[in-house]
Structure 1
Amino acid sequence: MEEKNRTMIEEGRRVLERLRSRQHEAYFVGGFVRDFVLERPVKDVDIATSAKPEEVMEAFSKTVPTGLQHGTVTVLTGDYSFEVTTFRKETEYEGFRRPAEVEYITDLEEDLKRRDFTMNAMAMDAEGNLIDPFGGQSDMDRGVLRCVGEAAERFGEDALRMLRCIRFAAEYGLDIEEATWLALLRQAPLLRHIAMERVRAELQRMVGGADPARAAALLLASGLWRHAKTPLALPFAAWGHPHAQTVIAHLSSIPAEEDRWAVLLLLIGSQQPEAVRAELRALTFPGEDIARLTRILAVHAQLQRGDAEAAAVRPRPEAQPSAEERAAARFKLAVLAHGKEAARGWLRAAGLLRAAWRRQAGAGAGLPEQDAPPSANPAQPGQAVPHRTYDPYEASGELTMDEEIHTAAGEACLEELFRFMTEEAAVYLENGEPWIHVMPVYGVKDLAVGGSDLMAQSGQKAGPWIGETLNLLLERVALGQLENTKEILMTEAFRPTEMRDE
């Protein structure tokens, strides 16, 4: 165990002991106990107690009343903070998300009964003794994720638990108990009551987690993506296409969450950067994240379209550039349009796509079975949903007419992406970084002249012509057709248009 975790746990024990010294019960609970039992790193420590919030605040010199309406006080001690919550039971939920009111109680087991899954419904005392009334440790030993009590009730109380179910199954490598899975399928429409920022947070944890391939497989099989509060328009079902599954199976090899998102979005929106932007906005992604991801997709769209201007590609009208020269010009223009970081993001994402698909082609029948993305098809009888391959279209139920149209369009784009990555992308992936490195300029601010120079030379007032002229100079300098000196750029800027290629 890391020293930081050990120190935090010892400080937490002191919190338990202080409460017990005042004749209150106090236990570690929730995710801390789960991860402690699994010998995983712990991020924070939650405590449950029979003490009322005011009694907790009396027991410690530094506290913050972070959630008094739910009985939670944050205790600050040493270098750590601990959320301490009074034992409680919840009468009814409102909005399929939060309890309408809570009742303080003195029974630990009754408090644990309200929790979502058995592995999160364990407690531990200061001496390390486990209190596990619902079999959470046994479920984890068997590799099973199971709701506490009736799964339909747990999901009906808080519909976000359905996404948490998928995340936990993927993160901890668990099979979802059959009754829990079937209840999730029945209650899936309740997700429309959950705020989109909550949905987005869970999706980010899935994609950034230990096994995003299993999370994506479970998400598709559940059909939950169809029931978002704000309808989602992108063809997410296309993630179930064999080409997409081949790539997603290797998603965990990418360290950065943002790069994983770039791969997933390329699979379903490679030619639709504006549609992707709208979808990310609907999911309440931060503006900076939206800008970074859509710029990566815009780089791809520009490269796949192959729309480099002939005048920018050819230094002389009589010259016939080679295929590599055209590719270099196209790539550099994409860097100018969307930024070198976006271009590098595309290189990382495209590298995974091409490598996975080339590996698939080399394997003939596809990836080895152990590399295939796991599934969540509950059709086989048994106690838990097994890890096995599946048909995501069948698993998530019948597609509506609109979904069939979107899925067909998504598959067509995916086939075109596959063709581009396996046939044309090699030149960009092999040369992209060197091309970025040798570019003398990346934006108009890098030019040796500016708008004031142009106005002084011409005697004209500011207007759109300045931006147009600077962008033309930028392209030519970036493509190595002009040196970035003031004298040369000023001469080129005021040369008659018909003479610029001579």
Structure 2
Amino acid sequence: MVSWKQADKEMARYGREVLAKLLEHGHEAYWVGGCVRDELMGRPVHDMDITTSARPEEVESLFEKTVPTGIEHGTVTVLCHSYAYEVTTYRVEGAYEKHRRPLEVEFVSELKEDLRRRDFTINAMARAIDGSIMDPYDGQKDLGKGLIRCVGDARTRFQEDALRMVRCIRFASVFGFSIAYRTWRALLAERESIRFVAMERFRVELEKLMEGNKPSRGLGLLYRSKLPAHAKVPFEYEPDRRMIAHIDDIPPSEAVIRWALLLYACGLNAEESHDMLGNWTFPNRVRDQITSILDVGEAVAEMNAGMPYEQQWIKLVLRSGRDAALNWLRLSEFLKNGGTEPYPSEVLENGRAWTEEMEIYHLSELAIAGKDVLELSGRRGGPWVGGILNEMLIKVAARALPNDKKVLIDELKRVISTNE
């Protein structure tokens, strides 16, 4: 029996248990799709889908723990130990609703018929429990050629589910593959149907593309295809190619900086980017992380040359946050390489050191609080309290004062008496 090399050993072992039980009860069963493709490519296998001749109700009857994930389409999730396996009955699909989902499915008895409905040849392979590969549409040959090719007629595949056009580009980008001529021509012919795809589905594919090793390739294909311009929320901005050429130099782990570079290269400011990312269904946390980087850049560009840059930078870090400031400094390395307008060289050269040398970064870290201000002043609260605390915060952050309560109380007394 051929063992899995790229998959987690426990996941593969328990997956084999699922296959074995289906086989023991007279059904056909295979691993299918992405797990087979990634194993053949030597890529990590993170999940393992299974296809079977067993009907959904038969799958449910065989296993103790199941979830009817998509039972109307033949999918039952089998829970085995701590792993979940999507087990789907062989099927063919009828007409699709608005290029998104099949209106009906028909269960079939042959594996080849099930594989024929899949998007690309490299995803239309199945692996038996003994390790042998079922590959009726030459997926292995296309893997060897580094080729993304639709199963059967490409226009039909894209008409069935328009998201496949974005997946086509994402696979080409992440794997470094080419797109077959007829598949590319079909994509161009069907691109207007991408407007039927929910922005969330489109966005998820883009995130996977941007987390790959060479997103510049995928971005180039996207803009050549004009898919973003035809999306439900059109994105018609084209990036500066000189800057986009540097996006691959940013590690995948710093995806928010990649996104900030893309938006900056498209000429969007922080506010415009915030609106666009919202329309494209980015989670608020991620959207704020990206746009805060651009916001820092805009503030740096407006710094007053007549004032000490270190003081202006520290105030900016306190306003925007340490992470946003450091992320912008990382971004500026690639903006500079891209030939964009210069920022104050003193900030670019010393910003990181200034940030790391700051005593504190948040008002909550200050050794005194609003109640101390009120007790010493004997006045009623109001916006003036925050103003005084922020003055103290800046002085402590800039190391002009230690973050010591006694010292700060003495300074507070002096400030209050001066203002009376």
TM-score, normalised with respect to structure 1 = 0.78
| Corresponding residue number in structure 2 for 1:327 | 309
Shift of 1:330: 2.1
Higher relative contact order (CA 8 A, sep 6+): 1
Q: CA deviation at 1:348?
A: 1.9
Q: Distance in 1 between matches of 2:183 and 2:302?
A: 46
Indicate the SS of the match to 1:460: coil
Pick the aligned partner of 1:337 from 309, 319, 325: 319
Q: Return closer, same or farther for 1:299/1:127 CA change in 2, 3 Å cut-off.
A: same
Quote the offset at 1:155 in angstroms.
Answer: 0.8
Of 147, 150, 157, the match for 1:144: 147
Indicate the residue corresponding to 2:413 in structure 1: 490
- Compute the displacement of 1:2 (Å): 5.4
What displacement does 1:161 show? 0.6
Aligned residue number for residue 230 of structure 1:
233
CA-based RMSD: 2.1
| Of 216-225 and 453-462, the range deviating more from structure 2 | 453-462
Q: Deviations over 1:29-58 (max 9, x none)?
A: 111111122222111111111100111111
- Show the counterpart of 2:364: 445
Q: Match of 1:245?
A: 244
Contact conserved, 2:243 with 2:261, CA < 8 A, in 1? no
**Deviations for 1:191-216, whole angstroms, at most 9, x for unmatched residues?**
11111111111110000112211111
Specify the SS of the correspondent of 2:266: helix
User: Once the two structures are superposed, what CA deviation does each residue of 1:133-168 show, in whole Å capped at 9, x if it has no partner?
Assistant: 111111111111101111111111111111100100
Residue matched to 2:122? 119
Cα drift, residue 254 of structure 1:
5.0
User: What is residue 260 of structure 2 aligned with on the other side?
Assistant: 262
Change (3 A) 1:246 1:32: closer
Distance in 1 separating the partners of 2:96 and 2:15: 31
Count of residue pairs brought into register by the alignment: 413
Residue 72 of structure 2 is aligned to residue 69 of structure 1: yes
CA distance in 1, matches of 2:24, 2:169: 40
Question: In the superposition, relative to structure 1, how do residues 254 and 195 fare at CA in structure 2: closer, same or farther (>3 Å)?
Answer: closer
Letter in 2 for 1:440: E
- What code does the residue aligned with 2:263 have? L
- Which digits, 9 at most, give the CA deviation of each residue in 1:384-428, with x for residues without a partner? xxxxxxxxxxxxxxxxxxxxxxxxxxxxxxx7xx122xxx35433
Q: Which amino acid is 2:296 matched to?
A: V
1:213–1:250: 8 Å Cα contact kept in structure 2?
no
- Which whole-Å CA distance do the structure 2 matches of 1:103 and 1:35 have between them? 28
CA contact (8 A) 1:482 1:489 kept: no
Matched, 1:419 2:341: yes
1:368 aligns with none
Residue 446 (structure 1) shift: 3.0
Would the aligned equivalents of 1:449 and 1:489 in 2 still touch at CA under 8 Å? Answer: no
Query: Can you list the C-alpha shifts for 1:211-249, whole angstroms capped at 9, x where unaligned?
Result: 2111111111111110121233xx630x2x342233234
CA 1:494–1:158: 2 relative to 1, 3 Å: farther
Alignment of 1:90-489 (within 5 A): 90-232=93-235, 236-237=237-238, 239=239, 241-251=240-250, 253=251, 255-269=253-267, 272-307=269-304, 313=307, 326-354=308-336, 356-357=337-338, 418-420=340-342, 424-482=343-401, 484=403, 485-489=408-412
**Alignment check: 8 A CA contact 1:109 1:133 kept:** yes
- How far apart are the structure 2 equivalents of 1:461 and 1:133? 80
**Match of 1:58?**
61
Within 2, Cα distance between the matches of 1:267 and 1:74? 43
Pair 1:479–1:13, CA change in 2 (3 A):
closer
**In the alignment, residue 219 of structure 1 is paired with which amino acid?**
L
Distance in 2, Cα, partners of 1:46 & 1:140: 20
Q: Which runs of 5+ in 2 are unaligned?
A: none
Structure 1 gap ranges (5+): 314-325, 358-414, 498-502
- Distance apart, 1:480 and its partner CA: 4.4
Structure 1 residue identity aligned to 2:244:
Q
Percent of matched pairs sharing the same residue? 42
2:341 is paired with a residue whose SS is: helix
